[in-house]
Homo-oligomer: A and B are copies of this chain.
Amino acid sequence: MSDAKIRRPKAETPKGFRDYFGPEVTERKAMLDAITGVYHRYGFDPLETSAVETVEALGKFLPDVDRPNEGVFGWQDEDGDWLALRYDLTAPLARVAAQFRNDLPAPYRRYAMGPVWRNEKPGPGRFRQFYQCDADTVGSGSVAADAEICAMLSDALETVGIPRGDYVVKVNNRKVLNGVMEVAGVLDPANPDRFAHERGIVLRAIDKIDRLGDDGVRALLGAGRKDESGDFTKGAGLTEHQIGTIMTFVSANTAIDNMVFESSQAAAPSHIREMSHSPEFRNGVACLYLETIVGSSQIGLEGVQELKQIADLLQTQGYGADQIRIDPGVVRGLGYYTGPVYEAELTFEILDEKGRKRQFGSVAGGGRYDDLVKRFTGQAVPATGVSIGVDRLLAALRAKGRVGGASAGPVVVTVMDRDRMADYMAMVADLRNAGIRAEVYLGNPKNFGNQLKYADKRQSPVAVIQGGNEAEKGVVILKDLILGAQIAQNATLEEWKDRPAQVEVPRADLVAAVRNMLGQ
């Protein structure tokens, strides 16, 4: 067979996909194992669904187009049915909860972790396959289930290495917004379908607060907004009065901060002034404020009540309001959720790509979604859960220096004499049997320099050398590669003499001497 005739395939990861090497795999695994440990202690059971679902079950069917390629990777099976890779871990959970509803415990607490796939335009740091790590409780309408998820999220963050003070779990409630909508006259409890169009615009506008600011949101609530490119987005057409009401919710955090600030001023009663700096005080003020803005709306008051209950439950369990905070500023995904929503934010500062300081930001989010299982069964099944952004949390741990410390490279036994491979393999066997990571050099042994370069690439802490002379004397030479590197960089002659980076020891003492060199 002549090679020239064959067109060689390109050795390339498909666009938007990537491979993970060595420490990238072990560091993520260590983090997920730690999180799993917390989930397990909370009574959550693992679930691993298949990567492939029917497009129908995922809820992504587009009968008008040839292929349902909106956001998912899909294909047609031999029977003509469309299948697709899952795009998150919640849709498969809803399918499982419906499919196995007679067998699963009720409520069903489950965690899941694994890759999900998105057929979206890849970009810097945006991949088409990435990890999620979810925990959900299906079948409980109790706010205790929401509080539990918040507590578990807090425990998980501290367990992986984000200390108290460097994170906050912020809790909001979709029902409070519904209450405000009722007050503003865009939600009629007696006729829920009315004003649905306007509410859609309101939700989408609020979701964009970070990007558009107060003025942009106000414009979208009113007549509409022209963006920089000149494109006009039609607004919800609310009156100034209605807009003002909605904005009491959008700008709640500013209002609450002002109230807390006033309480700390000289004009405030002294016992209020003293309390005003505690996180618990802010939570109380937040509830008071929200109670005010939802007026007499039943759903709104229920939402505030739920927030209070969550705060109380968590306080009884020993969580401070610095760890878990009532925060009406959590807007993400308000459209999707039906009750409490929560988001974990890391509050320490990092330098962004332009060297500017900024807060690390959100690493997890979730909330209550009571309608997902209903899609399959027709029966409402209350559910609440959280999804941790695995890559973002891992990036945070790296930024804090919590992962990737000591070299985990193997001891490398070099090959001086190709015919004595059995001797070298016996050495690595001895080291491994003592629990020490070790390998023999398996490349072409002719050039010894290449062997040391290999050891360097492997981040090996120790190289073992035995030539003919050493074999005759029954000894081996150990080269301390970490110390060697340090000495080469900055040792004085005295230090060099005092701490030799190379020792000769009897073959029988190999394991003990390596252990000693490794500081074990």
Interface residues of A (CB under 8 A from B): 1, 3, 8-15, 17-22, 24-26, 29, 40-43, 45-54, 56-57, 59, 69, 73-75, 77-78, 81, 83, 85, 92, 95-96, 98-100, 105-107, 109, 115, 117, 128-129, 137, 139-140, 142, 144-145, 147-148, 151, 193, 312-313, 316-318, 375-378, 408, 410, 412, 421-423, 425-426, 429, 432, 435-440, 442-443, 454, 457-458
Assembly CA distance A482 to B378 (angstroms): 38
Assembly CA distance A457 to B107 (angstroms): 11
> Which residue of the partner chain B has the closest CB to A143?
B421
Contacts of A438 in B (CB 8 A): 41-43
30 residue pairs bridging A and B, Cβ less than 8 Å apart: A3-B378, A8-B377, A9-B59, A10-B376, A11-B98, A12-B54, A12-B99, A13-B49, A13-B50, A13-B95, A13-B99, A17-B50, A21-B47, A25-B48, A42-B438, A50-B129, A51-B115, A52-B73, A107-B442, A109-B439, A109-B442, A137-B442, A139-B442, A139-B443, A140-B442, A144-B442, A148-B425, A151-B429, A317-B425, A318-B429
**Interchain CB contact under 8 A, A83 and B43:** no
Q: When the two chains form the complex, which single residue of B49, B52, B313, B437 contacts A40, counting CB atoms closer than 8 Å? A: B437
**Interchain CB contact under 8 A, A47 and B75:** no
**Interchain CB contact under 8 A, B458 and A10:** no
Q: When the two chains form the complex, which single residue of B1, B17, B75 contacts A193, counting CB atoms closer than 8 Å? A: B1
**Interchain CB contact under 8 A, B440 and A144:** yes
Given known A-B contacts A98-B11, A429-B151, A437-B41, A49 and B376 have beta carbons under 8 A apart: no
Q: When the two chains form the complex, which single residue of B129, B137, B375 contacts A51, counting CB atoms closer than 8 Å? A: B129
- Pick the 7 closest A-B CB pairs, nearest first: A43-B439, A11-B98, A17-B50, A140-B442, A43-B410, A25-B46, A316-B422
> Which residue of the partner chain B has the closest CB to A81?
B14
Shortest CB-to-CB span from A90 to chain B, Å, is 14
> Which residue of the partner chain B has the closest CB to A455?
B105
Contacts of A75 in B (CB 8 A): 73-75
Shortest CB-to-CB span from A437 to chain B, Å, is 5
Assembly CA distance A74 to B52 (angstroms): 12
Shortest CB-to-CB span from A53 to chain B, Å, is 7
**Interchain CB contact under 8 A, A454 and B115:** no
Q: When the two chains form the complex, which single residue of B99, B107, B193, B376 contacts A8, counting CB atoms closer than 8 Å? A: B376
**Interchain CB contact under 8 A, A145 and B442:** yes
> Which residue of the partner chain B has the closest CB to A43?
B439
Assembly CA distance A108 to B372 (angstroms): 46
Q: When the two chains form the complex, which single residue of B45, B77, B313, B425 contacts A313, counting CB atoms closer than 8 Å? A: B425
Assembly CA distance A29 to B40 (angstroms): 14
Contacts of A11 in B (CB 8 A): 57, 95-96, 98-99, 376-377
Q: When the two chains form the complex, which single residue of B51, B107, B426 contacts A317, counting CB atoms closer than 8 Å? A: B426
Assembly CA distance A57 to B17 (angstroms): 14
Contacts of A408 in B (CB 8 A): 40
Assembly CA distance A148 to B422 (angstroms): 11
Contacts of A421 in B (CB 8 A): 142, 144, 313
Contacts of A78 in B (CB 8 A): 69
Contacts of A51 in B (CB 8 A): 51, 85, 115, 117, 129
